[in-house]
Structure 1
Amino acid sequence: MSLGKFVSFEGTEGVGKTTAINGLCERLQAQGIEYVRTREPGGSPFAEQLRELLLDTRTQINDDTELLLMFAARSDHLAQVIMPALSAGKWVICDRFIDSTVAYQGYGRGFGNADMLHKIEALIAGFVPCLPDITLWLDLPVAEGMQRAGKRSVADRFEQQQLDFFDRVYQGFEAQQQAQPQRIQRIDAQGEVEQVADRIWQAVSQQL
């Protein structure tokens, strides 16, 4: 069986990932491409339970525990959802993946450098591929994204962090894009929804 394509969306808070993913899924459906839409942390029943803990403002854990819970959720997500879908020839459209772990837990929390986090990822993921075929980094000024995020809902455990935390997260995404420009495509997230959707579709069409 031919493998499907693995597409991930990344960005700091409020960049418009949900809207962008909606747009891409609509275009895939119009093209007759089967896809599975999922997210991290979460995606599988067990990983969704861990997501509730990770996002709950009442959860009090240290940075090491947070990182390990992220990897535990991803390991189950890969085994239960991502790999079966890809093996069936379906596309996987994922809201966040390993690049968020590097940006949030690596750069944001100051846990460690990207190389170390990727080594941990490889150990946990084992024989399954860790990286998407293409990652769409929705690039928006941090302050603008936080302003958008503040209007939509009550802040979760991550969204409650200070601005300097998200500045470091942004630096994490930027550093990864510069290191892997072929896989991680920078998408200007400013402008009308249709404009951003066109930029995403152009990037996906050219690469996949």
Structure 2
Amino acid sequence: MNNLTGRFISFEGTEGVGKTTAINNLCQKLEDAGIEYVHTREPGGSDFAEKLRDILLSPATQINEDTELLLIFAARSDHLANVILPALKAGKWVICDRFVDSSFAYQGFGRSSDNENHAIAMQAKVKQLTADFVEKMPDLTLWLDLPVKEGIERAGKRSAADRFEQEAVDFFERVHQGYQYLAKNEPERFKRISASGTAEQVAKRIWQAVNENV
């Protein structure tokens, strides 16, 4: 993949950490700097992947954890092929709201139900699917970190909860553990950004991290 000339930045975090605002602020800074970029998201981002997003996020959807994981990677494969890789090859930056790390945190840790063997099995599935179907990982991943209960409280003030947002607090505590694991084990790529404080303060932290690491 050495013919890719753009830069790939993903944003991660549990619910209510302010990813949307943070991403919009970064995109504005890139625009001001004259940098071409594509703002996208997961699950979704491409026409087909958006259809799968509707299924995955609908509270009416009843699927098991393996089906959920496979649908997410099906969406990701299409998203990569039709949006992310073409943009990077064209020299554009890609700013993505969630990517592989969400699968590791939400499915690999969140769906583990505090069962160590189950967690190991789920994490192994995520790693294998990533190895098989993900040609390009982000150059930089920004983890917006906030105490889980504070984030849930923030999220509750928004629109009606989707299928993931309806999960119990302990689910999101495990997701948070997944992000902690990634921050510890992939420190070169995966950077923790405190999501506390004002939007302007968070934006400043993000811009500093981008300038230092991309």
Q: TM-score, normalised to structure 1's length?
A: 0.96
Tell me the residue number matched to 1:9.
11
Q: CA deviation at 1:93?
A: 0.1
Tell me the residue number matched to 1:121.
130
Between the aligned partners of 1:32 and 1:26, the Cα distance in structure 2 is: 10
Between the aligned partners of 2:119 and 2:80, the Cα distance in structure 1 is: 23
Q: Percent identity?
A: 63
What amino acid does structure 2 have at the position aligned with 1:123? Answer: D
What amino acid does structure 1 have at the position aligned with 2:36? Answer: E
3-state SS in 2 of match to 1:151: coil
Tell me the residue number matched to 2:184.
178
**Are positions 1:109 and 2:111 aligned together?**
yes
Between the aligned partners of 2:107 and 2:197, the Cα distance in structure 1 is: 29
Tell me the residue number matched to 1:23.
25
Tell me the residue number matched to 1:141.
147
Between the aligned partners of 1:146 and 1:189, the Cα distance in structure 2 is: 13
RMSD: 1.1
Tell me the residue number matched to 1:93.
95
> Which stretch shifts more, 113-122 or 49-58?
113-122
What amino acid does structure 2 have at the position aligned with 1:26? Answer: Q
Between the aligned partners of 1:118 and 1:207, the Cα distance in structure 2 is: 24
Tell me the residue number matched to 2:206.
200
Number of residue pairs matched by the alignment: 205
Gap regions ≥5 residues in structure 2? 113-117
Tell me the residue number matched to 2:115.
none
Alignment of 1:57-68 (within 5 A): 57-68=59-70
3-state SS in 1 of match to 2:96: strand
Between the aligned partners of 2:9 and 2:171, the Cα distance in structure 1 is: 26
After superposing on structure 2, the runs of 4+ consecutive aligned residues of structure 1 that deviate more than 4 Å are none
What amino acid does structure 1 have at the position aligned with 2:61? Answer: T
**Are positions 1:83 and 2:85 aligned together?**
yes
Between the aligned partners of 1:197 and 1:51, the Cα distance in structure 2 is: 27
Gap regions ≥5 residues in structure 1? none
Q: TM-score, normalised to structure 2's length?
A: 0.93
Tell me the residue number matched to 1:169.
175
Q: CA deviation at 1:62?
A: 0.6
Aligned partner (choices 54, 58, 70) of residue 52 of structure 1: 54
**Superimposed CA distance per residue, residues 164-192 of structure 1 (whole angstroms, 9 cap, x where no aligned partner):** 00000000001011000110110000001
Q: CA deviation at 1:117?
A: 1.4
**Superimposed CA distance per residue, residues 92-138 of structure 1 (whole angstroms, 9 cap, x where no aligned partner):** 0000000000000110001643344122211123xx22x10000000
